[in-house]
Every structure is written in C-alpha cells, then in structure tokens.
Amino acid sequence: MIGFANPIAPPARVWAVERDDGSVALHGRVNFDYHFEGPPTCVHGGAIAALFDEMLGATNLLNDRGGMTGTLTIVYRRPTPLLADLDLFAEQTGVEGRKLLVRGTISHEGQVTAEANGIFITVDPDKMRSIFATNAAGADEELLDRASRCSSTRGRRRPSGQSIAASVCRRRFAIPARSRSAISGWSTSSWRNSLAGSSKTVIGPVAVTVALR
C-alpha cells in the first residue's frame, strides 16, 4: 500500500511538525491520479480510507507510540476531487492504556472533504513476530519473510549506499515500542529524532518511508 516501489501507492508527501506542547502533528499533500478514481472525477472512498490508515498510524509513531488499527471511522463530508492538490493533517488526541486515539482530515481548498477517527492498539513486538511466523507457515504459497531477511541481508548495499536490510526492515517493521524494536532494529524514538532540527521535513510517501534515510 505504501512506498516508492509500489506503483499504486497514493502519491502523498507528508512531514512532521513539532508543536509547543511537545506532540508531533503530521501534515502533507496528495494529488490522486486516475487509477484512484471512484465516481467520475472523484477519489474512491477505499483509497481515502487506506491513506487515512497510513496517516494515522504514522502519526502515532511520530509521537513515540505505534499500534495496529483497531477501529477506523471515516466521515465522507463531500466528494474528494481527483487530480487536485489535497491537504492532509493528522494528530494524536489521547492515550488510554494500550489504546491510541488519533484523528485526521483531508481538505481541498480549505474545505474538509473527509475526516477520520482511529483507535490503534499497541502490540508487544514478540507477539507480532509470532503472528508473522504463523502467517508465513500457513500461506498457500511461499511468503517472503522480511523479518528473516533483516538479518540475512544485513550489510549488503545498494548503489546509493542504502542497506537493503534497512530498506526492507525499516519500511515494514516499525513495530510499536518505546524501546528499540527487536524486529526491525529501529525504534519510534529514533524515527522521531531523525526529524529533529526541522519543522517541515518531507518523510516520503505516506510517511512510513521516513526511516529509509
């Protein structure tokens, strides 16, 4: 659903803005192309939902907490236009135990076209590893185990100098934890710290590719 390598990923650019209270909000912009069309001239509601899911999840990570989507409630206030610049916004609104509360909006020319409220649930990294292994073992076809590739490909370099392991692990396995994740070798605090020094740092399509740098 995300990243430069996926030709159908929403072409969103997002950046983090640290606020006076220490929290981090996510801002961004997207322009949906023809393959995201639903009703004529309008963005498909499913594409909007997928983008919200990524936006809200990334916002949690920017605030040093991450989790899996529990519920995602979307209100489509008006049709969202295709081939138009849209403004994105998301913020974490609260934490209740393992529940992370977060909201977001998509706007066109100052008018909100859709808004979302999500409840995300923090999950222990060991439990996530168990889920990955179970899914891989039960798949009808060979399922790429990126968690294993994190160790097997470590040290190999791309022409740009970027580690393949870093590319795979950091893009897909920013698992919720305040400490360093055993799965990816990357922590949400490290991610947030990588944005330090700039109030408007572009962090890639749908945010999660921030860790690739």
The pLDDT assigned to 7 comes to: 75
Q: Using the Cα atoms of residue 188, residue 193, residue 194 and residue 200 in order, give the sign of their dihedral.
A: positive
pLDDT, mean of residues 19-37: 94
Q: Is the pLDDT of residue 201 over 70?
A: no
Helix (H, G, I), strand (E, B) or coil at 181: coil
Q: What percent of the chain has pLDDT over 90?
A: 50
pLDDT, mean of residues 145-158: 44
Which among 35, 39, 40, 14 is positioned nearest to 25, based on CA atoms? 14
pLDDT, greater one: 160 or 31: 31
pLDDT, mean of residues 127-131: 87
pLDDT, mean of residues 12-21: 93
Give the whole-angstrom CA distance, residue 127 versus residue 75. Answer: 32
Report the range of poorest mean pLDDT among 90-99, 125-134, 135-144: 135-144
Q: Is the pLDDT of residue 75 over 80?
A: yes
pLDDT, greater one: 51 or 187: 51
pLDDT, mean of residues 105-116: 98
pLDDT, greater one: 168 or 95: 95
The pLDDT assigned to 44 comes to: 96
Which residues lie across from 206 on neighbouring strands? none
- Tell me if the pTM is above 0.85: no
The pLDDT assigned to 143 comes to: 67
Give the whole-angstrom CA distance, residue 155 versus residue 184. Answer: 14
pLDDT, greater one: 204 or 92: 92
The structure tokens 């969202």 sit at 80
Mean pLDDT of the chain: 74
The pLDDT assigned to 156 comes to: 42
- From residue 183, alpha-carbon distances to 31, 33, 70, 124, 199 in Å are 33, 35, 21, 11, 29
Reported as a pLDDT band with limits 50, 70 and 90, residue 120 is: very high
In CATH, 12-212 is 3.40.50.300: no
